[in-house]
Structure 1
Amino acid sequence: MHVLYASPGTIEAYRKDGHFPDGAILVKEVYRAATGAMTTGTVSHVDSLRGWFIMVRDRNGHHPASDVWGDGWGWSWFDAANPSAASRNLPMKDGIVRPTFDYKENCKGCHAPAVATEWIYIEGYPPLKH
């Protein structure tokens, strides 16, 4: 399950011109989900926090030598087990943790379908659509 956050002013700026402003911060808080039968039917609910995907808008490419900055964003994962530093291990849907050393290899593949909306799945941020 995902809970999404945007830094102040991000939603208003995106609604204005369809672009994320430089410095905008997007956070996707990721939880493991548990599913079970209840009297009302099958229910899924939050089980435990896995961590946070964080993206920082960098329209001007301020960090060209970094392996986690590019295509207009800083890309990172912060694991709940060690939230004080960006992790070099990326959890995948299958539960296997894979090392991440380059956003091009570990991030862009999942974000490729959202390239037209600046690499962001705007469906995850309903306020952007208004």
Structure 2
Amino acid sequence: MKTKLVIAAIASTLAMPLLAADSFSPYVDGKGQINLPKNFRSDFVHLGSWAVTDDKSAARGFHDVYTERKSLDHYRKTGVFPDGATLVKEIRNLETGPLTTGNPVHWAGDPAVWFVMIKDGKGRFPGNPLWEDGWGWAMYKADDPRKNAASSYKADCQACHIPAAQTDRVFVQGYPLLKKQ
């Protein structure tokens, strides 16, 4: 009976997804591949929202940003995101129309893209082009949310995050929950 339990425990362990060497994030495998967290809208804390209304902008849409409760608590105590923190930005199509509250009114429509950042304070994936400036970077499009569409941080992410270099590449001014209370 004891042997069966040991074999079952080993089989269970082998069936688990391969995590990074020190298991710092359940959303990252041992090669540095980042997965889009499931249920982030219900399991994470909503930090804040942005609306980009410029018709010519590639970022046009309603931007909602989420993180884990423990990452939020750590940030509020220390002013920095902890190693392994996950940030998810969901961009939803911007819907516009007249409502009783005003004209035009803007609201979030269907999801278009998700961006995921994982804080890496230890440089775990040297040479991986999606891990630079202290974070892992990923982008998922609504037509295939299982595939990371980003090829490298420098090509796909860096340009947008340069203005936030002084705040660890995160636009913290849009997230009221990050402020100490």
TM-score for both structures, normalised by structure 2: 0.61
Q: How far apart, in 2, do the equivalents of 1:20 and 1:78 lie?
A: 22
Q: Write 1 or 2 for the structure with the bigger share of strand.
A: 1
Q: How far apart, in 1, do the equivalents of 2:106 and 2:162 lie?
A: 28
Please state how far the C-alpha of 1:102 moved relative to its aligned partner. 1.8
Q: Write 1 or 2 for the structure with the bigger share of helix.
A: 2
User: What stretches of structure 1 of length at least 5 have no aligned partner?
Assistant: 89-100
**Alignment: residue pair count:** 118
Amino acid at match of 1:30: I
Q: How far apart, in 2, do the equivalents of 1:35 and 1:74 lie?
A: 34
1:129 matched residue in structure 2: 179
2:71 matched residue in structure 1: 10
> Which of 109, 121, 138 is the aligned partner of 1:59?
121
State the Cα deviation string for residues 6-44 of structure 1 (Å, max 9, x = none): 023111111112111100000001101022233432111
Residue 27 of structure 1 contacts residue 54 of structure 1 at CA under 8 Å; is this kept in 2?
yes
Q: How far apart, in 1, do the equivalents of 2:65 and 2:135 lie?
A: 17
Identity %: 39
> Which of 148, 158, 161 is the aligned partner of 1:111?
161
Amino acid at match of 2:92: Y
Residue 28 of structure 1 contacts residue 54 of structure 1 at CA under 8 Å; is this kept in 2?
yes
TM-score for both structures, normalised by structure 1: 0.84
Q: How far apart, in 2, do the equivalents of 1:62 and 1:84 lie?
A: 23
Residues 67-106 of structure 1 aligned to structure 2 (within 5 Å): 67-88=129-150, 101-106=151-156
- Max Rg structure: 2
Q: How far apart, in 1, do the equivalents of 2:136 and 2:75 lie?
A: 18
2:82 matched residue in structure 1: 21
User: Does 1:46 find its partner at 2:108?
Assistant: yes
Please state how far the C-alpha of 1:112 moved relative to its aligned partner. 0.8
User: What stretches of structure 2 of length at least 5 have no aligned partner?
Assistant: 1-61
Shift in alpha-carbon separation, 1:60–1:68, aligned structure 2, 3 A: same
